[in-house]
């Protein structure tokens, strides 16, 4: 019989602890080994039971979720999923939690005590299963403070007439990986960058601000009918596909698309990559970072077929090797490199 995933639930609400425990008990491969009502109790249970995953509420008395997360990752590193009620929480907090070593977050229904969370049983169970494969060592690396160390582009490249572009796909573990990459790219990068990071819609602006804070390329949330410009990075907004169209030698137009999810996600890297391949052909570099699932695989194949180039993050530095592995197994990857080499390869592509 396969080993069950052991889970510790930490929430100051007795109701939420019970309902989450009862929901998880319905899954044959998941097991709640304990619950805790605050951060201090959570630290004791984590040390004693060594769970595979901690479900951790952000807002708690005595010791809040971020302080508890910091202690867990320092004393008993493990996979942590943050729980947050979106009607109460500052949207920057879940992103800060990811920076501190959390793997993922789950939005709880807001308002008074509610049974609405039971509607998300399948989604919560799937998230737990996905997170159970996250590598602890990669999470430890993600906690190392990011130091801005921007690469320089050779002067002649800034005058290069050829209009190149870079597209990036990321999911679980992606926000921290992207911060690292952007901290090592020049502010005046002579190409537009387009990013699909799987995040709920309410986090788009906060995520864009965090990428901006590392002082790399200027980062904004993409808008419909906006022209792409060199030196800017455009983040696909949550719940909308980002499509490139009306491409010319020195420009491309961004469109936001409400069509059906692809590979269960919207925005989809496949949608972005495929449209970018049509636009830029051999002038395109596609980068696939850490994440669960296969989003980006079909898009990477389209980039390769159009003459573009594809690099993927290696297994050792990926929190979850799902997306890069799928591209690698499809035969579309030109190169597999650790995270620290990805900004170097991006700059080399633009300097060619």
Residues marked active site are found at: 171, 198, 295
Q: What is the distance between the alpha carbons of residues 56 and 10, in angstroms, rounded to a whole number?
A: 5
Q: Which residues contact 287 (CB under 8 A, 6 or more apart)?
A: 166, 167, 168, 169, 181, 310, 311, 312, 313, 342, 346
**Region of residue 230 (phi > 0: left; psi between -120 and 50: alpha; otherwise: beta):** beta
Calculate the CA 4 to chain-centre distance.
26
With tokens 């947050």, the residue in question is: 84
Is there a contact between 204 and 190 (Cβ–Cβ < 8 Å)? Answer: no
Alpha helices, DSSP H only, in the chain?
A: 14-25, 39-49, 65-75, 92-99, 121-131, 136-142, 155-158, 174-183, 204-213, 269-280, 297-305, 322-330, 342-351
């Amino acid at each position: 019989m396969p080993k069950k995933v052991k889970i510790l639930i930490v929430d100051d609400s007795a109701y939420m602890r019970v309902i989450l425990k009862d929901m998880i008990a319905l899954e044959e491969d998941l097991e709640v080994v304990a619950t805790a009502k605050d951060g201090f109790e959570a630290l004791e249970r984590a040390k004693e039971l060594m769970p595979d995953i901690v479900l951790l509420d952000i807002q708690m008395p005595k010791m809040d979720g971020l302080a508890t997360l910091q202690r867990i990752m320092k004393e008993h590193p493990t996979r942590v999923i943050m729980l947050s009620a979106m009607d109460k929480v500052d949207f920057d907090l879940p992103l800060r939690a990811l920076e501190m070593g959390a793997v993922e977050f789950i939005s709880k229904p807001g308002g008074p005590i509610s049974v609405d969370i039971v509607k998300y049983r399948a989604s919560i169970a799937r998230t737990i299963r996905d997170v159970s494969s996250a590598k602890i060592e990669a999470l430890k690396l993600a906690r190392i403070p990011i130091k801005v160390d921007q690469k320089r582009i050779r002067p002649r490249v800034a005058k290069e007439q050829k209009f190149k572009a870079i597209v990036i796909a990321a999911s679980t573990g992606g926000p921290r990986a992207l911060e690292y990459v952007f901290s090592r790219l020049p502010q005046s990068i002579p190409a537009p960058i387009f990013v699909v990071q799987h995040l709920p819609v309410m986090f788009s602006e906060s995520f864009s601000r965090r990428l901006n804070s590392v002082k790399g390329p200027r980062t904004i949330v993409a808008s419909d009918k906006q022209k792409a410009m060199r030196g800017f990075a455009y983040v696909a907004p949550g719940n909308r596909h980002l499509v490139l169209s009306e491409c010319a030698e020195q420009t491309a137009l961004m469109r936001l698309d409400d069509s059906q999810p692809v590979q269960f996600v919207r925005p989809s890297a496949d949608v972005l990559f495929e449209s970018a391949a049509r636009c830029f052909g051999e002038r395109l570099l596609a980068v696939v970072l850490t994440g669960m699932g296969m989003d980006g695989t079909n898009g990477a194949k389209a980039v390769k077929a159009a003459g573009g180039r594809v690099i993927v993050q290696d297994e050792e530095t990926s929190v979850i090797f799902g997306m890069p592995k799928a591209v690698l197994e499809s035969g579309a990857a030109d190169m597999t490199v650790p995270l620290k080499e990805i900004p170097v390869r991006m700059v080399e592509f633009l300097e060619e």
